[in-house]
Structure 1
Amino acid sequence: MRPACQADFYTTLSGDDHDGRFERCAGHRGKRQGIGTGTESGSVMPPPEGGPVVLKSAALAATWTDADGGTLTLKQDGTFVADDVCVAVSWYDGLTWSGTGTWNQGGNKEQTFVGVTFDAAQPAGFDIAHPDSLEREPAPYAALRHGKVLKLWVAIGDPDNDYPNCVLTSPAS
């Protein structure tokens, strides 16, 4: 099942009148999950080290690698190849997808976001009510810079658990 914010990726990135969906879509655990409000019901993984960064397409067109060796190769022509790369879909954790598709970038004055759309539908999790759930668009990745290292990241899993974030780094950085 696609998170509500995924359906209007670019509009959620440009405004904050979406009942907190901006933060979730932008790769942050924002007011929708209660961050900073003192109402947290569990432990939430903070974003990886680094600050938001605006990246041009040329800097994004590279091979990005996750902690388990999965790769996402973004090509200059707007296509990509993924090989067991970590993705965020709804509240599921531990999902990795492989395949091809197209990518695009959005953002605001402070940060770039990368959305990917797979050519073929991928398994979306282990939902008992919908065991055959398939998706083509995981949640978008947000760009960070930590020193000279560039990162694309997205929060995964249930925000009340300590699931690790999905973090991709670029060796070119």
Structure 2
Amino acid sequence: MSKAPGTLVTREGQDCLSYAVDLGIAMTCAEAVGVMDVTLEALVDYMKTRKQFGVAIASFQALRHRVADMKMSLELARSMSYYASLNVNAPANQRRRAMAQAKYQLGGSMRFVGQQAVQLHGGIGMTDEYIVSHYFRRLTQMESVFGDTLHHLAQMSDSMHPELDKAA
């Protein structure tokens, strides 16, 4: 291998790798929205059939409010997923910032929707036989792929420093 021809592709290779990671983030965001959608759908179906005190738990106002909060978090995530997808072909700095913003928002939404779904399902929500536990595990895994929420918060902060330097 020592005599094999090679070409150093540091900058060009780094740009390609950065683009591939950003594309992966955008696709992960889209998948996360889909998983949160089916998680919420499974929860609503469960709440309509699960009875407590002789009535479906879907009739309890406090639980309905939690589901509404989950839906709002999902819709924020959906908007940021669209934003990430729209910026896939943007200039590198704009693209990186958009991906960090999307991944940050989706990280919080994935955690919130997943945890609430498990909580509202009660003990069955964590059993291996029930699909919601698998959705929750997938959401937890996606939260950390390509950098976790705190990593992307730091990326957003770093991208703001040049603007802060200009303002001073």
The TM-score by the shorter chain falls in which range?
under 0.3
Higher strand fraction: Structure 1 or Structure 2? 1
More helix by share: 2
Q: If the length of structure 2 is used for normalisation, what is the TM-score?
A: 0.23
Could you say which structure has the larger radius of gyration?
Answer: 2
TM-score, with length taken from structure 1: 0.22
